[in-house]
Amino acid sequence: MQETRRAVLDALSAGPVSGPELAEELDVSRAAVWKHIETLREEGFGVESHGDGYVLDSVPEFGAGGVEYGLSAPFEIEYHDSIGSTNDRARELAVAGESGVAVLADEQTGARGRLDREWASPSGGIWLSLVCRPDVPPAQAPIYTLAAAAATADALDGIGVDAEIKWPNDVLVGGRKLVGILTEMAGEADRVAWIVVGIGINANVDGDAVPETATTIREQVGDTDRAVLTRSLLERFDDLTGSPEDVLPAWRKATSTLGRRVRIETTDGDVVGEAIDVEFPGTLVVATDEGEERVSAGDCEHLRPARS
């Protein structure tokens, strides 16, 4: 959110405060104050005017203003009621040189999973794509995907949803998929140009609007305040990517893959065995009958629990 507008908002929430007082406090014209208040109203903030000045009456449930208000992570929110795919829009922004933007939508009409699979995105979800420009080699990019999964699991934990991560980046509840993550990037041999981390959360959505293998927050705990959840996810993601050494411990804490018997479908065939560890930047170590194998990408299926 634009800096002066955020300052106006802060003053209004501590209000009542008059237009002239605001103008003086922020060192801008009264007309500018008025414009900011109008914009805030357009974004869905309820700004009431009383005899003794303006006061903030309500904040929007969702949208750019609703998420940015109180957000302590360096992301600018670009919100769409409906869009084809937030990842496609984030890629456009990334290619144009943008960074630190979170593209957010209530509904997507052409969303994608990995390998161009369809991703159901009805109204009421949290469809989010983050444009990042980290100064890291491309080989380290998977840590961003793991950070997104861990941040999402932690944010869900905060609203009472007992989520578990299935390697590398599905977030499940009771074995059903609640969140999918799609990371895309561009770069050269030694440096990433940009990474787009797309996170799709089935939030305030009916169970029959998503595939049978999926679940939604509505089904699990009832509707949630999506702005609050999005903020805590962005803040946790920013913390984790700011200290990459914290990502794997956070991921390990939230995963149900480690210690399980798994089958990983990779481009070189299936790897079957017990998942025993995850290594930087996201490699799964599987103990197979032929010894340890390290897998960096693939579709993971949890088999029956490993014998102890």
Number of residues that bind ligand BT5 (CB under 6 A): 29
Find the binder of ligand BT5 among 62, 69, 75, 119 (CB under 6 A).
119
d(CA 53, CA 17): 5
CA–CA separation, 263 and 283 (whole Å): 15
Shortest Cβ distance from residue 86 to ligand BT5 (Å)?
4
Binding track, positions 62-101, relative to ligand BT5; x by CB under 6 A: -----------------------xxx--------------
Contacting ligand BT5 (CB under 6 A), which of 5, 36, 112, 226? 112
| The two structure tokens encoding residue 135 | 């100064």
220 is an interface residue for ligand BT5 by CB under 6 A: no
Side-chain half-sphere exposure of 45, counting CA atoms within 13 A: 26
Q: Residue 257 interacts with ligand BT5 (CB under 6 A)?
A: no
* Closest residue to ligand BT5 in the complex (CB): 180
100: helix, coil or strand? coil
Burial of 152-184, coded b for 16+ CB within 10 Å and e otherwise, reads: bbbbbeebebebbbbbbbbbbbeebbbbbbbbb
Binds ligand BT5 (CB under 6 A): choice among 202, 220, 241, 255: 202
In the set 6, 35, 80, 114, which binds ligand BT5 (CB under 6 A)? 114
**Per CB under 6 A, does 218 bind ligand BT5?**
no
Q: Does 144 bind ligand BT5 (CB under 6 A)?
A: no
Alpha-carbon span 281 to 169, nearest angstrom: 13
Query: In this chain, which stretch among 4-12, 177-185, 232-240, 290-298 interacts with ligand BT5, using CB under 6 A?
Result: 177-185
Cβ proximity of 183 and 141 under 8 Å: yes
Amino acid at 10: D
Answer whether 291's CB lies under 8 Å from 305's CB: no
Give me the residues that bind ligand BT5 (CB under 6 A), please: 85-87, 108, 111-115, 117-120, 127-129, 170, 177, 180-182, 198-200, 202, 210-211, 213-214
